[in-house]
Structure 1
Amino acid sequence: MSVEDRERVRLEPASRSAALPMLTGHAVRAFLRNPLAAFFTLAFPLAFLVIVSTIIGDQTTGHGVPVTQFLVTPFAVFGVAQASFTLVAVDTAVLRESGVLLRLRATPVPPRTVLAARVAASAAIAGVAVLLLTVVGVVAYDVQVVGNKLPAALLTLLLGIACCTALGLALATVTRTVTATQALAQGLLIPLAFVSDVFIVGAELPRPLSVIGSLLPLKHFARAMAETFEPGAGAGFSPGHLAVLVAWTLGGMLIARLRFGWQPRGGAMSRRAAAEVIGPARSSLSAPREPGRGSPAALLGGQISYALLGLRRDPLSVFFAIVFPGLLLALFPSVFGDARVHGLTMAQYLFAGLAAYTVAVTGFVDMPEGVVGARSAGVLKRLLGTPLPFRWYVAGRVCAALIVGLLGVAVLATVGLTFFGVRVDPARLPAVLLAVALGSLCFSALGLAVAALLPAARSLVAVTLGVLLPLCFVSEIFVVGDRPLPGGITAFADVFPVRHLLQALLTATRPDGPGAGFAWGHLAVVAAWAALALVVARVRRSGLT
């Protein structure tokens, strides 16, 4: 035995004893350094607990129990699923594709310890999410922790974490790339949350959606947790729901064990920002600019093409900008039937609301993410040394955001007109297009301003989503009833462009509205925000490069 082997054997027991807490701590620190993961796991459920509780106020059930008593569990379940399913799946895929898992396997640390550390970290983060929501609910909204059901709550939470973790590992083992894992994790979790008593609690779902939710574990986790917060006698255990969680846990563990691999499967990790600059660099450096070449139209067209190419390589952005709004437009009218919102059918109202969301998320979240990715890769600095003017790069990004926004609106129109009786007067199409174009310019400018102000690229999406999603809620984009918002919330929302873009689109798409559908007052506010953001982005242009 060589000296190195003897030294390794001598150190191995000590290394093993210290490896689990050390690797667990490392995983927790990595989570804290990932603003987007922290946002969806901790900030997102907490923000919506506060918003929904504020809107509901002091409403009670038929038994006199405050409605807020039943709001903690669905948001807690979502936080647990984010930490134990999405985070575990994506984190495992990242470690595998970057070669970290393979290198860890060559260390004295046993492979099972490496996986146990990731599971322990996700469990700790999920526990923090539940504790945070519970404390805020108890302190701010008089939520009661039912003492006689606390053991049931702890057991349900542990089984839910185990189930989500096993399924997250299983998902990571059956996908080849990080991008596919991330897109599938979010693409599965968020739609399922709507049919699993997480985002829509107590509603009568259509039979097919109800069956789908009942077959999958998230609904059983949500209902079992809700039972532990139901005031009254009893132990709070839900044997049927817990049995389903155990079955899915065993299934996920079996798949993970059979398919788990340590070696990268999809080649090198995607370098999207670098790929996006290949086109601009080649087009601008292949030959010096000569009279008649490099026209503004050609420069702009090239930048639009490469910006759209970057979006096509990001399925998660495409999902949230195009697929997700279409799913909501199809789901909400199916669930709530003939409910009306501010004098309109739900489908008619949601068509305008989700069109505003599509435009906002494309311009304010997706577009600046691509710009910041290029900045982090050094692309924008190198671009300054080419014949391509920087303004054409930015113009290409903004136009690409407009194209994607228009595509999303077209998908919404197709779903609404085909299946839910949404009507759009052809004479008002110019008003719709103006609102979409001005909204896209406004939110793209705001996204560029935020990108210029933020030095850290990793925090951008957490900031933009963390601002946009609550604003969409208080601006009544995701509203599903006629109950008015408190006056303070409405006054707050009136300051920002999301609500004004919504009102402009509602005016343009209202079937019985007068005139050509132009809401000039609301459009003026959107234009003012666009001008202010462009000034900030111009002043802070150095922050973009």
Structure 2
Amino acid sequence: MTTSTDRVGPGSTTLPSTLALGLARVGLEMRQFFRERDAVVFIFAYPVIMLGIFATVFGQDGGTVGPPPGIPFAQYFLPGMIATGVMLSSFQNLATSIAVERDDGALKRLRGTPMPATSYFLGKIGQVLVTSLVQTALLLVVAATLFDVPMPTTASAWATFAWVFLLGTATGCVCGIGFSSVPRSGKSASAVVVPVVLILQFISGVFFQYDSLPTWMQNLAAVFPLKWIAQGMRSAFFPASAEAGEVGGSWQHPATAAVLIVWLVVGLVVGVRKFRWQRRDDS
């Protein structure tokens, strides 16, 4: 069996480490990602477009959300758009792309190479992290320059933004990898994955004020990560006075971390047990 210390090739060169291969895969994944122009436009432009639509439609008369003086609509919708962007870049992107790679045989061929499986997943996660950072930065620039949304002014608010973003991205990645085994083919991947993300957006306070949703819908949304990512982002971008308007009267940071970690563990377990390198019909 070939190991990382075996000598290969005429130059007797050692095989790269798992981390080095993972970093190389990040570069490859980035190139492949940007070649899919329709996916790039959707993932980067969707949160920006939706922010523009909701901020313009609901905020055209200068209206606000919550008790006086209220929060301008653009500021209210920004955290939800950041959260949904994280889910698009991580969960939806990986669940769809991996299913397609499995269907066209790319995963089966990769599995037959000396590259460790860990390097493949590091490449996927690295690509998601880079694209999520670019997407979020673009969204913040548009919100601040076009809609005058105030950015956080304290180190604690930025720290909250950072840990919710990183934990939410990690959770979305592992859940996307685990969910990639659900579609029966690459062609059906979008039809299976996209509705899940859309439904979660509607019930998680992304498109509507969360506390105005029916109680049963709030309870359902509280089971899934998107609601907690959006709530965590609100705690970073809203003034402290807005905390009283949350369900339960608190930002619930411990609950946010707990739910995301639980889903992170669930995604890891499902991914390890159910991930497939080849199509269902392959012998």
State the TM-score bracket (shorter-chain normalisation).
0.7 to 0.9
Instruction: Tell whether the 8 Å contact from 1:329 to 1:415 is kept in structure 2 after alignment.
Output: no
Alpha-carbon separation, structure 2, partners of 1:482 and 1:439: 19
How far is 1:524 from its partner? 1.5
Q: Distance in 2 between matches of 1:533 and 1:507?
A: 26
Q: Which moved more, 1:322-331 or 1:464-473?
A: 322-331
Who is 2:274 aligned against?
540
1:345–1:316 Cα change, 3 Å:
same
Deviations 1:316-355 (A, max 9, x none): 2222221121122223222322222344221112111000
- Write the distance in 1 (CA, Å) between the matches of 2:140 and 2:254: 23
Q: For residue 391 of structure 1, what is the amino acid of its counterpart?
A: T
User: Which residue in 2 is equivalent to 1:472?
Assistant: 201
Query: Residue 457 of structure 1: CA displacement?
Result: 2.1
Identity among equivalent positions (%) equals 27
Q: Which amino acid aligns with 2:116?
A: P
- Does the C-alpha gap of structure 1 residues 459 and 340 become closer, same or farther in structure 2, counting only changes over 3 Å? same
Kindly tell me: are residues 425 and 287 of structure 1, through their superposed partners in 2, closer, same or farther at Cα, counting changes over 3 Å? farther
Partner letter of residue 489 of structure 1?
M
Residue 414 (structure 1) aligned to one of 137, 141, 145: 141
Aligned pair partner of 1:487 in 194, 215, 224: 215
Q: After superposition, what is the alpha-carbon deviation per residue over 1:499-542, rounded to whole angstroms, capped at 9, x for unaligned?
A: 01111111122233699x89232121011111101100100133
How far apart are residue 413 of structure 1 and its match? 0.5
Q: Which residue of 2 aligns with 1:449?
A: 178
Separation in structure 1 between the aligned mates of residue 158 and residue 252 of structure 2, nearest angstrom: 10
Conservation of the 8 A alpha-carbon contact between 1:472 and 1:498: yes
Amino acid at match of 1:433: A
- Residue type at the aligned position of 1:309: R
Cα distance in 2 between the residues matched to 1:339 and 1:444: 36
TM-score by length of 2: 0.82
* CA-CA distance at 1:312 after TM superposition: 0.5
- Indicate yes or no: 2:67 matched with 1:340: no
Cα distance change on mapping 1:287 and 1:462 into 2, 3 Å = farther
- Structure 2 counterpart of 1:395, from 114, 119, 122: 122
Amino acid of the residue matched to residue 179 of structure 2? V
1:59-98 to structure 2, matched below 5 A, reads none
Any residues of structure 2 matched to 1:69-468 within 5 Å, and which?
290-291=13-14, 294-337=16-59, 338-342=62-66, 343-422=70-149, 423-427=151-155, 428-468=157-197
- Aligned Cα RMSD in Å? 2.6
Aligned to 2:5: none
Letter in 2 for 1:503: Q
Contact 2:55-2:73 within 8 A present in 1 as well = yes
Structure 1 position 377, deviation (Å): 2.0
Q: Does 1:510 align with 2:232?
A: no
Q: What amino acid maps onto 2:139 in structure 1?
A: L
Between the aligned partners of 1:530 and 1:341, the Cα distance in structure 2 is 32
Q: Do 1:368 and 1:451's aligned partners in 2 also have CA atoms closer than 8 Å?
A: yes
Instruction: Say whether the 8 Å CA contact 1:501–1:522 is kept in structure 2.
Output: yes
Residue-pair matches, total: 258
1:381 maps to a residue whose letter is K
Provide the C-alpha distance between the structure 2 equivalents of 1:379 and 1:490, rounded to a whole number of angstroms: 40
**Structure whose CA Rg is larger:** 1
Partners of 1:364 and 1:544 in 2: CA distance: 20
Mapped contact 1:405–1:436 kept (Cα < 8 A): no
**Residues 96 and 193, structure 2, Cα contact 8 Å, conserved in 1:** no
- When you count helix as a share of all residues, which structure comes out higher? 1
In structure 2, the CA distance between the partners of 1:296 and 1:336, relative to structure 1 (3 Å rule), is: same
TM-superposed deviation, 1:449 = 1.2
8 Å contact from structure 1 (residues 475, 498) kept in 2: yes
Q: Which runs of 5+ in 1 are unaligned?
A: 1-284
Q: Note if contact 1:325-1:354 (Cα within 8 Å) is conserved in structure 2.
A: yes
Q: Secondary structure at the match of 2:180?
A: helix
For residues 18 and 210 of structure 2, what CA distance do their matches in structure 1 show? 49
Shift of 1:286: 8.1
Displacement of 1:288: 8.5
1:341 aligned partner, one-letter code? V
- Residue 460 and residue 371 in structure 1: after superposition, are their counterparts in 2 closer, same or farther (change >3 A)? same
Letter of the structure 2 residue corresponding to residue 316 of structure 1:
D
Deviation at 1:367, TM superposition (A): 1.9
Maintained 8 Å contact 1:431/1:518? no
Structure 2 counterpart SS, 1:448 = helix
Say whether 1:521 aligns with 2:255. Answer: yes
Instruction: Report the Cα distance in structure 1 between the residues aligned to 2:163 and 2:220, rounded to whole angstroms.
Output: 25
Q: CA deviation at 1:463?
A: 1.2
Q: C-alpha deviations, 1:266-292, integer Å up to 9, x for none?
A: xxxxxxxxxxxxxxxxxxx9888844x
Q: Cα 1:296–1:287, aligned 2, differ >3 Å: closer, same or farther?
A: farther
Decide whether aligned partners of structure 1 residues 518 and 415 sit closer, same or farther in structure 2, where only a CA change above 3 A counts: farther
Q: Deviations over 1:60-79 (max 9, x none)?
A: xxxxxxxxxxxxxxxxxxxx
AA at the equivalent of 2:94: M
Which protein has greater RCO, CA pairs closer than 8 Å, 6+ apart? Answer: 2
Whole-Å Cα distance in 2 between the matches of residues 297 and 452 of structure 1? Answer: 25
Q: How far apart are 1:430 and its partner, in Å?
A: 2.2
The change in CA–CA distance for 1:373 and 1:456 in structure 2 (over 3 A counts) is: closer
